[in-house]
A and B are shown apart, each in its own frame.
Chain A
Amino acid sequence: MSPPAPLLLVEGIRKSFFGVEVLHGVSFTLGRGEALGLVGENGSGKSTSMNILGGVHQPDAGTMLVEGQPYRPADPGAAIAAGIAFIHQELNLFGNLTIEDNLFIDNFPRRGGLPFINRSAIRKSTQDHLAQVDLDLAPTTPVARLSQGERQLVEIAKALSRNARLIIFDEPTTSLTRREVARLFGLVAKLKARGIGIIYISHALDDVMAVCERVTVLRDGAVVGTGTSRDLGVPRLISLMVGRSIETIFPQRTAPPRPSDVLAVTNLGQPGVAEAITFTIRAGEVVGLAGLMGSGRSELARMIFGLDPFRSGTIAVEGVELRDPTPARAMAAGIAFLTEDRRGEGLLMEAPIADNAVLASLRSVANALGLIDGKRVAAASRTMAQKVRLSTDRVEDTLVKHLSGGNQQKVVIGKWLMRAPRLFILDEPTRGIDVGAKQEVYRIINALVEAGSAVLLISSEIEELMGLSDRILTISRGELTGGFDRLDFDREAIMTAAAVGADHAKVSS
């Protein structure tokens, strides 16, 4: 007897968009109860491969076998029916519907032969599946009220409700808290034990190592290596991904901070959000803000940029008070802000790269009459594309929605860089981008700071904060709880200060 067919066999998948081939024959296999990591630089074709597996796109060539049977889904519905669940990079739930409606949206059980939804059946089944993912919520809760982590779990419950044999996770941890991540990993282990195959895509290579038995590396749309996590190891993974080894991730800065303050925040307060926040950032200085998700770190950034109100305190930029900040006033004062939600706040998805790039600096690309000059737009955005090393230089005819997740992030950064900001607030600037691109972002930050700008850096990655900052402030429950100079950086001490009182933080809705 021949050995049983693997759960999934993918062989020689090719795919072109608009005549440009982005997948050049991708092959891999996956066994039952196995987790396969899929890693690669931004734009290397991870999401595209999975979109083909999930029926979102059709391949130009290649074969796929699921448990030995030919598999070629015509649309996402067909993939779901074949037991393949795809949890997208950007979650795919409907905020205006309840959890139970979301779980059954594409195949509601009916009452007898009638077209009516069998409510009692879906409620019961939803309760069961929510229990399996340890989510203690009523099935009738609208999804709009859930946190990112809870939504992730709902997606998994949905996959379970379809008897999925294979679940694809495309960067599942980017907007989860540490605790939610731990919960997710526990759940993945449970799924594996039930014989469900997992494909796990992430730029957090340590996570990939922890979750997956084997890893496949993609580069420029082709598989450049596959091996067990044990044999590969992170450094080898990186060199396979980027084609070179990356030694010092954090480039050194030569110029020390200058004495003048670029930002001075005094006694900032807002009931329920922030209390008596005072700090400064000097020219040529990077100040890191360490805090857990929900600690108020993003809210503080939003207040400085005029997106959220504050009741008391002052904000001054280069000695001039920023009165009643609005984003327009903050920008005029020289502040730039990279929000944590690039899709929601940062980008026009349907517009080309060039239009997005110049969006924050339209004046600089206008001609003498004040009209936008297409040539200048193209030139400026091409320079930007080179500066952040975008994967394409066809800035005028590539729509942002067609870029990979990481390259979208680079466009947002580039957009702000064009304004040569005095203070750049970066909220999770390297979320969802690959190691090579991370280093680019670090290099960009350093260049900016050496030219005399100030940076406020928010990140969940403590290594990143320690590697880049001159000073680290910790925030918890909307209060600053500690400050560390570069010489006294101590991982444990910083994490402890950032978690002060966090367990008692009252989260109400």
Chain B
Amino acid sequence: MKSGNRLALLGLQNAPLILFVVVLLTFGLMSDRFLAIANFRNIVIQAAPIGILAIGMTFVLLTAQIDLSIGATMYLTASVLALAFTGLPWPVALLLVTVLAAVVGAINGLIVTVLGVASFITTLSTLFVLRGVAMWMSETRTLPFPDRITDLNRAGVLGIPSAILAFAAIFALAWVVLHQTAFGRQIYAVGEDAEAARKAGIPAKRITFACFVICALCAGVGGFVTVTQIGAVGPKYGDQVEFAAVAAAVLGGVSLFGGRGSVAGTVFGAILIKTVQNGLNIVNADPYIYPLVTGSIIFLAVAVDGLRTRILDTLNRRTIRPLQAN
């Protein structure tokens, strides 16, 4: 009985991976185009913007907070760029976007840590304010970007496309920060129990603040990558990406209650979501079915997570007396 539980657990612990294989096989059987290397490369390129956003979201989720304003941050920073700074060389433009995004993150972080307002409410308000400002500035027009920016999409190093490079770089950076630095470990401590963290001498508020800034930075960069891919910014730009980002993180095993999960899982979650969408696209599925399938997969992942926790609990419960052999 016990070994059965362990087997189930092994399956559940690797549920996203199993899900991924199932998805690959399903679409692979339905279309031979799907399993081509070129298609997979495509999937990662498509997953890059949402993946970058989700990595930033992971930092905030790890501290048991949430940031709903990342889509609005994307929209605002891209609009400012499109309105006033299209003449800049791209590295300067990227820098400008990240600085502006960091300011937004700092505002969120200050409201949450200094004023003590719940992050859900705080970032819900900044979502509306930032979107409002961006719409007002752009007069709700769709603003185009010059080739200098959109050419980046086709650029790359050693044949690796720029979007994938950006995605990989941000992932590597985030991974190192979370696992190899004191700051990263302290994020996990704060997410587990902020009061205990304070008593342990950890600057809990400063850490939470920093995570909001990091999340916004990622929103700026993710937005910039999106801009290179679609070449224009309009009123629907970045709409509801916050939910996709949260979904990717949760799919990858990040807990909404803080302290649990990793960016590796998040990256995997983002790629899984995009793989499904890409597969549906290749088999010419009805577009109405997309959100349905994505939603079901997220639901499945969350259900699996709950089941996994439950089985872990029973397995970790110490037995008091020997079990009869059976």
Contact = CB atoms under 8 A, between A and B. Distances in A.
A299 B321 CA distance: 12
A56 B199 contact: yes
A217 B323 CA distance: 49
B2 to A, nearest CB: 9
Given A117-B180, A271-B324, A294 B189 contact: no
Select the residue from B188, B201, B203 with max chain A CB neighbours within 10 A: B201
B239 interface: no
Contacts of B318: 294, 507-509
Contacts of B323: 271-272
Given A106-B202, A116-B180, A145-B316, A92 B196 contact: yes
Contact of B182 (A115, A275, A506, A508): A115
Contacts of A56: 199
Given A95-B192, A117-B181, A505 B199 contact: no
Contacts of A115: 181-183
A89 to B, nearest CB: 11
B199 A76 contact: yes
B65 interface: no
B49 interface: no
Interface in A73-96: 75-77, 79-80, 86, 88, 92-96
Nearest to A309: B314
B321 A506 contact: yes
Interface residues of B, number: 32
Interface string B42-66: 0000000000000000000000000
A506 B193 CA distance: 33
A38 B197 CA distance: 26
A506 B319 contact: yes
Contacts of A92: 196, 199-200
B188 A505 contact: no
A509 B200 contact: no
A97 B191 CA distance: 11
Interface in B269-326: 315-316, 318-324
A505 B321 contact: yes
A465 B211 CA distance: 52
Nearest to A158: B200
A108 interface: yes
Nearest to B198: A76
A116 B182 CA distance: 7
A408 to B, nearest CB: 15
Interface string A47-89: 0000000101000000000000000000111011000001010
Interface string B165-202: 00000000000100011110110110111001111111
A507 B176 CA distance: 38
Nearest to A100: B185
Interface string A480-509: 000000000000000000000000011111
Contacts of A285: none
B16 interface: no
A101 interface: yes
Nearest to B189: A94
B259 interface: yes
A80 B201 contact: yes
Given A117-B182, A145-B316, A299-B320, A97 B199 contact: no
A296 interface: yes
A477 interface: yes
A288 interface: no
A99 B81 CA distance: 47
A54 B201 CA distance: 10
B188 A97 contact: yes
A291 to B, nearest CB: 10
A104 B176 CA distance: 18
B319 A273 contact: yes
Interface in B180-236: 180-183, 185-186, 188-189, 191-193, 196-203
Contact of B260 (A96, A296, A506): A96
A506 B320 CA distance: 7
Given A115-B181, A117-B180, A94 B192 contact: yes
Contacts of A296: 320-321
Contacts of B203: 77
Contacts of A44: none
A86 B324 CA distance: 45
A80 B196 CA distance: 14
A5 interface: no
A478 B196 contact: no
A126 interface: no
Given A101-B185, A273-B321, A76 B259 contact: no
A427 interface: no
A105 interface: yes
B129 to A, nearest CB: 29
Contact of A508 (B188, B193, B319): B319
Contacts of B192: 94-97
A295 interface: yes
Nearest to A79: B201
A19 to B, nearest CB: 21
Interface string B82-122: 00000000000000000000000000000000000000000
A96 B318 CA distance: 19
Nearest to A508: B319
Given A117-B180, A271-B324, A94 B196 contact: yes
A479 interface: yes
A117 B185 contact: yes
A271 B5 CA distance: 14
Given A505-B320, A505-B321, A75 B201 contact: yes
Given A145-B316, A296-B321, A507-B319, A97 B200 contact: no
Given A76-B199, A105-B200, A107-B182, 16 more contacts: A75-B198, A75-B201, A76-B200, A94-B188, A97-B188, A97-B192, A105-B185, A107-B201, A108-B181, A115-B181, A116-B176, A145-B316, A271-B323, A273-B319, A508-B319, A509-B318
Nearest 8 pairs of A and B residues by beta carbon: A77-B201, A272-B319, A108-B182, A106-B201, A477-B321, A478-B320, A478-B321, A296-B320
Interface of A: 54, 56, 75-77, 79-80, 86, 88, 92-97, 101, 104-108, 110, 115-117, 145, 271-275, 294-296, 299, 477-479, 505-509
15 contacts: A94-B196, A96-B188, A97-B188, A104-B182, A105-B182, A105-B200, A106-B200, A110-B182, A117-B185, A271-B323, A274-B320, A477-B320, A479-B321, A506-B322, A507-B320
Interface of B: 1, 176, 180-183, 185-186, 188-189, 191-193, 196-203, 259-260, 315-316, 318-324
